[in-house]
Amino acid sequence: MKVVPRGERKKFLEGGTVVFKKNKATKEKANHVNKQKKVKAEKNTNKPVKTKSRGVKEEKIKLPKVGFTHSMLSLILSTNIFLFCVFAVVMTITNVQLDTITDKASRLMIVTTNLQKSERMVSVSLRDAYANSYAYYANARGRAGTRQYLSTLIKKDKEQKDQYFERMKRQYENLEDQSSQKLIVTMKEMSDSLFDQIETVKTNVDNGDLDTAKAYLDTNMLNSQQGYNNAAEKLQKGLDIMLMKSQKSMQTMRETALFLGIAGVVVFLICLAVSMLLSYRLIVYRISRMAGQLNRMIDEINSGHGDLTKRISLKTKSELKFIRDGINGFIEALQNVMSSVKGGTVLLNDATDKVTQRIRKANENVTSTSAALQELSASMQEVSNSVAGISTKLEEVKAAAMVMHDMTEEGNEASNSIKGEADSIKEAAAHKKEETGTRMQTLSSVLEESVQNAEKVSLINELTNDILEIADETNLLSLNASIEAARAGEAGRGFAVVASEISNLAENSRQTAGKIQNISTEVTAAVKSLSENAMQVVSFINTTVLADYDAFVDTGSKYEFTSDIIAGLLNGFMSSADELNAIVANMSDSVEEIISAVEESSRAIEMSAENSSEIVTEFTEIGAAMEENSEVALRLDENTRRFELV
């Protein structure tokens, strides 16, 4: 339990009531003392204590009513209704003008579009009629039925033309454009003239006067068509101008709508400002006046020149008069209370001063003892925390030792693995060396035998020389046989043929022997080169490869020796880690004994501190109650001094 020092107790005064920051027991004690004071005060003034029961309902306060015409509600409603009517009239006028402008622009757009469609349809009818009249002329010597059909088409085109012109005339009656109406009249006259010329062409064709009909088609009708096109172009320009006017009208309508919208917003803001101004004058200004008078009275009280005989003065027939009368009634009640408080403050001050001095001395002694115990408890707590920290560090050291032991064991296993691999390398190298030496001996003997066999190739040269000698002798014998056959004449002709064949055979044998001799020379050279290369390979293996195998055997021996050294070091590390782990375990047991001893001492100190705190609490509660009485008495005395007139 924490004791709040006397100098750090926070207290302040609000509305004549002293408020302390204290614990729950102090608050309950103070509430009990206040209840006793209230009961005593009510007994002294012979006033019964008011209690609330569940079966009894409190009486509601009945406020007097104000006439509706003088109430603030009627004033606010009338003002807002008037402003709403003004705003509604302005917005109605705005909407009517917008509807008028929109309707006019829409009708202008529709009429312009319909006129353009009608003009295009008239142009199509005229082109069809001109084409049909040309076809009528082209069919002058054809069948009469075809001309009758073309005549019907021309008549139909004329009827359609008249219908479209009648529609255009009705549409232009709604527009105030005299120039366009004149153009339509001109266009109708030109189209009528064109159809009259078409009738003339038909008459000439029917009478057989094709030259006159052709002249009408090429001159008069083309001129009428050109005149109509010129008038149509002027009309189209007029329609474009009207369309531009319609677009400008729509733009003007948008600008007008924007202006009217802004005007409506401005009117709304003006109405809102007027409403706020009236509300300020009717409510806020009057409340501010009452608040100003009340603040002046409070300022006078705070400055020590309070006058409770003053009252709020405000002339009004609205609900504000209830606030005015309520404030004045409160001031009158405060005046009566302050007049009765002034007499009892002096006696209360004298009684509380004596009790407060005695309790203050006892409280200081007990507070010093409690503070010392709390400091000792805090020191023991720090010791406990330090020992707990040491225990944590020991656990970390123990964990590190275990990790080192595990890592050393893993290193020992790796060293044994390296040693085994080194032995395997050494044995494999020795085995390979022995096997290679055996194979080299076998290979050397085979190569020597092959070289000796290769030398037998030289016998082929000797045999080929013998074959060449035999071939020369055979050739010589065949020559002699030929000579003898020639001498024999007709009887020796068959023998001459045989001699010739023998001579050819000898020549072939000589050539074959020469080829064999060449091949034998090449084979002998290849065998010599092969035997030399083979001897070089054998020499390389004997000098280099076997030496490398010796180096492999030496390397395996070195690896084996190194792994033995590493294994010895790792075993030393493992034994050191085991010793460190045992030391840490002993230290951890000692630290746990220290922690248990510190905890027992801390619990004993806390029990002593709690007992001292309870004593301090009792003194504090008594002192707080007495200080509260003293503070209340002093504050009441100070507050009553603020009022000069009560």
Separation between Cα atoms, residue 556 and residue 566, nearest integer Å = 15
pLDDT of residue 86: 76
pLDDT of residue 113: 74
Beta-bridge partners for 623: none
267 and 402 both lie in a single domain? no
CA proximity to 63, closest of 315, 283, 323, 314: 323
pLDDT of residue 310: 77
Global pTM exceeds 0.85: no
Rounded average pLDDT over 396-413: 68
Check residues 130 and 380 and name the one with the higher pLDDT.
130
Q: Is residue 58 included in any domain, yes or no?
A: no
Rounded average pLDDT over 509-518: 70
The SS3 call for residue 644 is strand
Check residues 30 and 388 and name the one with the higher pLDDT.
388
> Per-residue pLDDT tens for 273-322?
887 787 777 777 778 777 888 888 888 878 777 777 777 777 776 667 77
> Per-residue pLDDT tens for 172-208?
666 556 666 676 777 777 777 777 777 887 888 778 7
Q: Is residue 307 included in any domain, yes or no?
A: no
Strand locations in 129-213 (E): none
Residue type, 470: I
**Is the confidence at residue 267, as pLDDT, over 60?**
yes
> Per-residue pLDDT tens for 132-181?
777 777 776 666 667 777 778 778 877 887 787 777 777 666 655 666 66
Q: Give percent above pLDDT 70 in the chain.
A: 44
pLDDT of residue 611: 63
557 and 412 both lie in a single domain? yes
89 and 227 both lie in a single domain? yes
Range of the domain at 471: 396-599
183-197, 199-213, 334-348, 449-463: which range is least confident on average? 449-463
Q: Is residue 391 included in any domain, yes or no?
A: no
Separation between Cα atoms, residue 523 and residue 532, nearest integer Å = 14
Work out whether strand 643-645 and strand 306-307 pair parallel, antiparallel, or are unpaired. Answer: parallel
> What's the CATH number where 586 sits?
1.10.287.950
DSSP letter assigned to residue 175: S
pLDDT of residue 64: 55
CA atoms within 13 A of residue 547's CA, in its CB half-sphere: 6
Which segment, 45-54, 179-188, 241-250, is predicted with the most confidence on average? 241-250
pLDDT of residue 401: 63
The SS3 call for residue 514 is helix
pLDDT of residue 46: 43
Q: Is residue 145 included in any domain, yes or no?
A: yes
Q: Is residue 212 included in any domain, yes or no?
A: yes
> Per-residue pLDDT tens for 475-503?
776 677 677 667 766 665 665 666 676 67
Rounded average pLDDT over 257-262: 77
> What's the CATH number where 141 sits?
1.20.120.30
232 and 90 both lie in a single domain? yes
Instruction: State which of 244, 271, 298 marks the end of a domain.
Output: 271
Task: Tell me the residue length of the chain.
Answer: 646
Q: Is residue 302 included in any domain, yes or no?
A: no
Domain count for the chain: 2
Separation of CA 278 from chain center: 51
Q: Is residue 296 included in any domain, yes or no?
A: no
DSSP letter assigned to residue 51: -
Kindly report the average pLDDT of the chain as a whole number: 68
The SS3 call for residue 485 is helix
Separation between Cα atoms, residue 197 and residue 220, nearest integer Å = 8
462's tokens: 């000797």
Rounded average pLDDT over 423-452: 69
Instruction: State which of 584, 599, 614 marks the end of a domain.
Output: 599
Instruction: State which of 222, 239, 271 marks the end of a domain.
Output: 271
Beta-bridge partners for 12: 19
Confidence class for position 7, pLDDT limits 50, 70, 90: very low
116 and 262 both lie in a single domain? yes
Q: Is residue 521 included in any domain, yes or no?
A: yes
Burial classification of residue 300, based on how many CB atoms lie within 10 Å of its CB (0-12 exposed, 13-18 middle, 19 or more buried):
middle
pLDDT of residue 486: 73
Query: φ, ψ for residue 507 (rounded to 5)?
Result: -65, -45
